[in-house]
Structure 1
Amino acid sequence: MIPGKHRPGSPLAQQQIADLLGRGLALHQAGNLPQARETYRFALSLDPRQPDALHLLGVSFLTEHPGEAEQLIRQAIAASPRNPLYLANLGVALRNQHKFDDALAMFDKALRRKSDYWEAHFHRALTLLAMGRTEEALTALGRAIAHNPDHVGALKYRADILSDLDRFDAALADYDRVIKIMPGHAAALNNRGIVLLRLLRAEAALADFDAAIALEPRSPEIANSRGSALRAVGRLDDALAEFDRAAALKPDFVDAIVNRGSVLQDLARYDEALAAYAQAQRINPDHALAHWNDATLRLLTGDYARGFAEAEWQRKVPALGIVTPNFAQPLWLGESSLEGKTILVHADLGFGDTIHFARYIPMLAARGARVIARVQAALRKLIGTMEGVSLCIDKSAPLPEFDLHCPLSSLPLAFGTTLESIPAAVPYLTAPELPETWRERFGNDERMKIGLVWSGNATHSNDRNRSIRAELLAPLLARNAVFVGLQTEVRPHDRAALGERDNLILAGPSFADFSDTAAVVAALDLVITVDTSAAHLAGALGRPVWLLLPHVPDWRWLLDREDSPWYPTARLFRQDAGRDWSTVIARVDHALIEEFPTTS
């Protein structure tokens, strides 16, 4: 007998194999796969059918050579067919070869042997996730966590999935558990910060990103996240520096380059912003957000030809949440005759956008089309009265037959709109008759009646820039006029700041839809509003509207002008580089006294 080598199956041989497997496993766990494999093979030279040696050698190939791993683990199972560990790792080998159904069958077999085998539940979840069966993957992760409540990997996977599904509260709960178990988990801190940022809790998000960057200071992804939070809290110069750092750490990091362009645009450094978007597109020509940001900036500067063409990329930007219906009928973008055709135009953005782009509907009818408008329920009655609308339905209604379709926001492109060809005739919306209750209320007061909107949707991504705190309105509310609050939501701190005023009527909360709002707006002498749907409604009704704009406004208001080519009755009051709303209110107050002396 060769010294050190024993007869297979003998106690000495079994001990030698056990020692070899222990040594190999230590090498394996230390990441030294070549020596681990050599050790496993030496064990197999002592007993070629030794199942643990076959299994461990197979596991060492799971990532690099899953096919070889499958063959070795199958040999281990042949020798020991009821071992759930072998079955589960065979499932991993099959999954790594995209044999998903076979992998699931193997995990299920392992779980029949050991129902509380959390690793099998975990890997089953990853397989379901790879198959796109997200809800089943969440259930499997839940079972893994139930059997191992402190498993960081399962908790983080579940949190990431919940975040992607916009189930933010549940995602935050799992991230909190991960960070409690492992306070130094930089990825969990980063991802929790991203959820907080999406919930508009920017300061809390920034704290997470600060903690994450302290743990991994050279992570370009965390630097990019931190830059987004800095931008959200208005620290634009710091945000720019952070995006620059992210791009320096990873020169082809397109997201950071696009975000850098966004901050440059916020800073009104428009040429540099365009250069950043162009750089991003050179690296990734299909980066939708780079195209969309480029589009908004070109539209803002009046380059409508390129801007409206680039704007079609918005439908591929997940963050915008635009749902593009999958119609069988062809998309119409102006290339074919509409004579005798039925075209469906459908709202694809917000209320203000629907009102803004509805101006094109009569032009479709003028080309011989029968126009069906599919809009938000709150706008259905109002848009349904427009010239050229044959039928108006809301988004929940069954679709009638039609030949062609076009999103409302694509109509400027379809009609080749330029600054000189904007269809600006107003009114193109007609308000219903003012209800008797409002007629009596307005008729008994001879003072000037002014509609007022100082804030929009609190969840709007640009709310921090476009909304005004109610206390800043004090100079206006001191004027000799009746002010009618048109916004449907009044935030608690604004309600407290406004207090009880005999010249302020908060009408908006009583409006059922935009027809109600339109009836009141049509009876007003003037509307003063921030950039919300009320501005578009007043403009479309042909009513005088004074629009209060941030320093870098939405694209349709262009730059450095006090009028709007879209709404002839609009007057624009812009923030200067100081971004101070109080100076804007002061100019509005002065204009009010100057143009309407009775308000002084």
Structure 2
Amino acid sequence: MNQGKVRSGFSNPIGKGSLLDSEETIRKALQENPDDLSLKIRLADFYLRKHLLTETRILVEEVLSLDPQHHEALSLLGDLFMKDRIFERAIDCYRQAYGKAPNDYLVLKTARAFKEMKRYDDALQELEKVLVVKPRHFTFLREKALLLLRMNRQTEALETFEKARMIRPDDAYVQKEILRLRSVDKSNEQTIAEIRRMTSMPSKKDDPQLHGLLADKLENAGQIREAAAEYKIASDLQPDNVFFLKKQGYCYYHEKDYDQALRCLAEAFRRNPSDFYVRGTVKKIYEIRGDLGGFLRLLEEVLKRHPHEKTLYGAIKKVRKELEVLSSVPQEP
């Protein structure tokens, strides 16, 4: 396996150059080969990438009903359990899949599941299984560094990021983390000036990670409006990064710019409905605006997108009760 890139191990039954080309392409291939399990898996993987969890689950369960030990289906089922935050079941799936077809990606997924459970030592042990054999595996080095940060082992994290940078010197995220960790002992003013100088360079001005780091430092310095502007630049450069969008929203919320805050945080909630902090802040904004009904409509919209996010059912029930209480309170003349 290429040490610089983790692959799922999936084959490409559709043809070279058409991997996950489109739903239409895969469906057409399935019509011609309705019993091809690899095509069903390809479509399920496509749906998962599009966050269509119900469609993914239907296909995965169909494949497993025909082949209970299908390693790709087990891996995708593990991914669905991760989405539902049922981490132990996810680990069981990944390990079953690994038993049928060992590959590094399944080890990585297992480590990430342990990390989400805050079982950091177990996560580290999983990563070391690969790193002891492939010490220059970039993806595992970066994952190890992130895990060490979670464990508050910053010095080791910096050393690990440095190793990763030796393999991929141009990786923007690794560069940003090294800069951030090295700036711990510097003043905010020094760090802000240094990052501003870097983002003014033609080769770095479109680096979302650097703009995100600058935003973080500006936020820590109390320059909230400036931080929001940098988070927006980072988010525009990397639209799939929910973290930048969320941080931008929190900056607007801090500044009491509730329209802009709601724009950012509602979208972040749509993408990740399991984030209780974002959901709580969005509810507060709707309450401030006197529009709790708007929050209920948002919850119902998000539930349609994520029907397996069980916490939404309780949230909707609670808000409906709150609205009933509000509607029964006599209005002042």
Instruction: Verify same fold: TM over 0.5.
Output: yes
Task: Give the deviation of 1:238 after TM superposition.
Answer: 0.3
Could you say if the C-alpha distance between residues 304 and 318 of structure 1 is closer, same or farther in structure 2, counting changes exceeding 3 Å?
Answer: closer
Q: Is contact 1:190–1:222 with CA below 8 Å preserved after alignment? A: yes
CA distance in 1, matches of 2:198, 2:62: 46
Shift in Å, 1:276: 7.2
Within a 5 Å distance, the mapping from 1:25-174 to structure 2 comes to 91-92=14-15, 95-96=18-19, 98=21, 100-111=23-34, 114=35, 117-126=36-45, 128=47, 133-160=52-79, 163=82, 165=83, 167-169=85-87, 170-174=89-93
Distance 1:296 1:131, change over 3 A: closer
Q: 2:210 is matched with which residue?
A: 290
Q: 1:175 aligns with which of 94, 104, 124?
A: 94
Match of 2:135 in 1: 217
Aligned residue in 1 for 2:175: 257
Aligned 1:383-402 pairs, distance under 5 A: 383=288, 391-394=289-292, 396=295
Distance 2:214 2:92 in 1: 37
**Cα distance between partner residues in 2 of 1:252 and 1:285:** 14
Question: Secondary structure in 1 aligned to 2:290?
Answer: strand
* Map of 2:246 onto structure 1: 322
| Residues 229/220 of structure 1: CA separation in 2 closer, same or farther (3 Å cut) | same
SS in 1 for 2:132: helix
Distance, in Å, in 2 between the alignment partners of 1:147 and 1:124 is 16
CA contact (8 A) 1:100 1:127 kept: yes
Contact 1:257–1:276 (CA<8 Å) still a contact in 2? Answer: no
1:188 aligns with 2:106: yes
Residue in 2 aligned with 1:433? none
Q: Is the 8 A contact 2:26 2:42 kept in 1?
A: no
Partner of 1:204: 122
- Offset of residue 208 of structure 1: 1.9
Deviation for aligned residue 1:258: 2.1
Q: Deviations over 1:461-501 (max 9, x none)?
A: xxxxxxxxxxxxxxxxxxxxxxxxxxxxxxxxxxxxxxxxx
Which letter does structure 2 place at the counterpart of 1:173? D
Write the deviation string for residues 194-247 of structure 1: whole angstroms up to 9, x where unpaired: 233344433332222222322321111110100011111111100000011111
Letter in structure 2 aligned against 1:318: V
Asked if structure 2 preserves the Cα contact closer than 8 Å seen for 1:265 and 1:273, the reply is no
| Structure 1 residues 37-68: Cα deviation after superposition (integer angstroms, max 9, x where no partner) | xxxxxxxxxxxxxxxxxxxxxxxxx97xxxxx
1:216/1:161 CA distance change after superposition, 3 Å: farther
Name the residue aligned to 1:309: 229
Structure 1, unmatched stretches of 5+, are 1-61, 64-88, 326-330, 332-342, 351-373, 384-390, 400-512, 514-600
CA 1:220 to 1:345, structure 2 compared with 1: closer, same or farther past 3 Å? Answer: closer
- Cα drift, residue 92 of structure 1: 4.7
> Larger Cα Rg: Structure 1 or Structure 2?
1
Rounded Cα–Cα distance in structure 2 between residues aligned with 1:274 and 1:301: 12
Amino acid of the structure 2 residue aligned with 1:172: I
Structure of greater relative contact order (alpha carbons < 8 Å, 6+ residues apart)? 2
2:327 corresponds in structure 1 to: none
Instruction: Determine the C-alpha separation between the residues in 2 that align with 1:97 and 1:346.
Output: 35
Percent of paired sites with the same residue: 13
Tell me the matched-pair count: 260
Q: Give the AA of the match of 2:291.
A: I
In structure 2, the CA distance between the partners of 1:297 and 1:217, relative to structure 1 (3 Å rule), is same
Alignment check: 8 A CA contact 2:47 2:53 kept: yes
Matched to 1:231, the amino acid is L
**What runs of 5+ residues in structure 2 fail to find an aligned partner?**
1-10, 253-257, 267-279, 299-321, 323-333
SS state at 1:215 partner = coil
Q: Which amino acid aligns with 2:122?
A: A
| Whole-angstrom distance in 1 between the partners of 2:193 and 2:107 | 32
Provide the secondary structure at the position in 1 that maps to 2:124.
Answer: helix
Q: Distance in 2 between matches of 1:159 and 1:396?
A: 31
Given that 1:95 and 1:103 are in contact with CA atoms closer than 8 Å, whether structure 2 keeps it comes out as no
Shift of the 266–225 alpha-carbon distance from structure 1 to 2, 3 Å rule, reads farther
CA contact (8 A) 2:228 2:248 kept: no
Q: CA RMSD in A?
A: 4.4
Task: Name the SS of the counterpart of 1:392 in structure 2.
Answer: coil
Bigger proportion of residues as strand: 1
Aligned to 2:166: 248
Alignment TM-score, normalising by the size of structure 2: 0.60
Whether the 8 Å CA contact 1:209–1:222 is kept in 2: the answer is yes
Find the aligned partners of 1:245 and 1:94 in 2 and give their Cα distance.
Answer: 33
* 1:95 to 1:244, Cα distance in 2 relative to 1, 3 A: closer
User: CA shift at 1:253, angstroms?
Assistant: 1.4
Structure 2 Cα separation of the partners of residues 129 and 220 of structure 1:
25
Residue pairs, 1:150-549, within 5 angstroms: 150-160=69-79, 163=82, 165=83, 167-169=85-87, 170-181=89-100, 185-266=103-184, 271=190, 285-301=205-221, 306-313=226-233, 316=239, 317-319=241-243, 322=246, 344=259, 346-347=261-262, 376-377=282-283, 383=288, 391-394=289-292, 396=295
